[in-house]
Amino acid sequence: LHDTVEDTDVTLEEIEDQFGPAVRKIVEGETKVSKLPRVSSAHPTVNGRASPRDVDEQAENLRWLFVAMIEDWRIIVVKLADRLHNMRTLAHMTPEKQKRISAETLDIFAPLAHRLGLWSIKSELENLSFLYLYPDEYHKVNSMVNQKLPRYQRILEESRASLEQALCDDTFMQRSVDKIEVSARTKELYSVWAKMKQNERSIHEIYDLVALRVTFETKDCRLTRLYSEAEGNGDVAEAERLKNAEESLCYYILGRVHDLFPPFPGRVKDYIAFPKPNGYRSLHTTVFAGEKQALIEVQIRTQQMHRVAEFGRAAHSAFNDKNATD
């Protein structure tokens, strides 16, 4: 329904009659957003445009206008989903449209997804934009990553299995945690390229190319729910106590990780004590793993932290809505 009013003769009143005022509000917001001016692109694939500085300022102004004019954050989520669908079908458009839409996506929509903490959407928007805007660089980085991955695959799987087993066998963890999972991931191509370009690094100096991610659910499955309820009721002291109970487990797991794998000096990042502006919370550490002492990153977070990391505010709101109906 997001572009029904703009593309057809259907009115907002008809939308409200059939789907209710909440849906009307979202559709109306989408219609307003679609009328925002387009950002000029200063990417090297588009010539004769504004300077990079002017474009950065214009993009920032549009992002703030986008957020300021919208009362309901769900409108932005729908708009991001619409843009993601457009990017997934971009192969059927002309090269000129591919570059223009990709530049706009990289300048406006990927940063918006980042601000909302919608990590999965942000990553896909960036990678697809990267492919169409900088195809040579995209394939070059992809080739470099694929050359390094075989060396990491066995080390990563062995490290994942040994860490998961150590945590499952830990007596304290058995008493405190109901479910624990250790998974492996590879850094997104756009993020690799951006880090190499920004810091003038080679692929061999990207220490978080591959990572292990530890997520867990506490034994008391009500802990996160109770924290959310206490926070909502204004019981600051109780909310803080419950939050600290889960957070302390993250730091305990960090200690167990360093018991198994020697840490790389200066590479512990505490986003629990110092969350990112978009709400991202996690512990990161880089360690030496395997016989060849390969560098891998380990991320540690609760299931709720992970949901917020992947889906941002939508995860927090969905969790509270679920609690309200339980």
What's the confidence (pLDDT) of residue 11? 86
Q: What is the pLDDT of residues 140-174, one digit of tens each?
A: 999 998 888 887 888 889 999 999 999 999 999 98
Q: What is the pLDDT of residues 61-79, one digit of tens each?
A: 565 555 645 567 788 888 8
Q: Which residues pair with 183 in a beta bridge?
A: 213
325 compared with 238, residue with greater pLDDT? 238
Most confident of 112-116, 138-142, 302-306: 138-142
CB-facing half-sphere around the CA of 148: CA atoms within 13 A: 21
pLDDT greater at residue 4 or residue 231: 4
Could you tell me the CA-to-CA distances from 196 to 186, 262, 264, 268, 297 in Å, in that order?
Answer: 16, 25, 20, 20, 17
Q: Which residue in the list 7, 136, 291, 326 is annotated as catalytic?
A: 7
Q: What phi, psi does 301 have (nearest 5°)?
A: -160, 160
- Quickly state the pLDDT bin for 307 (edges 50, 70, 90): confident
Nearest to 246 by CA among 285, 281, 279, 287: 281
Residue 110: partners with Cβ closer than 8 Å, 6 or more residues away: 122, 125, 126, 129
Q: At 239, is the pLDDT very low, low, confident or very high (cuts 50, 70, 90)?
A: low
- The amino acid present at 121, given as its one-letter code, is I
Assess whether pLDDT exceeds 90 at residue 114.
no
Residue range 9-33: average pLDDT?
84
**Three-state secondary structure call for residue 190:** helix
| Whether 259 is catalytic | no
pTM over 0.85: no
Q: Residue 310: its pLDDT value, please?
A: 77
Half-sphere exposure of residue 124: CA atoms within 13 angstroms, side-chain side: 15
* Cβ pair 59, 107 in contact under 8 A: yes
Q: Which of 116, 120, 55 is nearest to 84 (CA)?
A: 120
Helix, strand and coil percent figures for the chain, each rounded to 5:
65, 10, 25
CB 109 within 8 A of CB 120: no
Q: Residue 281 has what pLDDT?
A: 92
Within 13 Å, how many C-alpha atoms sit on residue 7's CB side? 7
pLDDT confidence bin for 212, thresholds 50/70/90: very high
Report residue 29 as tokens: 């917001």
Q: Each residue of 244-290: pLDDT tens digit?
A: 778 899 999 999 999 999 999 999 999 999 998 878 899 999 999 98
**Using an 8 Å Cβ cutoff, are 93 and 99 in contact?**
no
List the end-to-end C-alpha distance of the chain, in Å, as a whole number: 30
pLDDT interval class at 111 (50, 70, 90): confident
pLDDT in the model for residue 61: 56
Per the residue annotation, which of 3, 6, 54, 158 is the catalytic one? 6
Residue 235 scores a pLDDT above 90: no
Residue 228 has pLDDT above 90, yes or no: no
- Mean pLDDT in the chain? 80
pLDDT of the residue at 324: 38
How far apart are alpha carbons 324 and 171 in whole angstroms?
34
pLDDT of 227 strictly over 90: no
| Average pLDDT rounded to a whole number, residues 42-67 | 52
The CA distance from 15 to 17, in Å, is 6
d(CA 43, CA 52): 8
Residue 311 has a CB neighbour count (10 Å cut-off) of: 20
- Res 175: pLDDT: 87
pLDDT band at 42 (very low <50, low <70, confident <90, very high): very low
* Known catalytic membership, residue 82: no
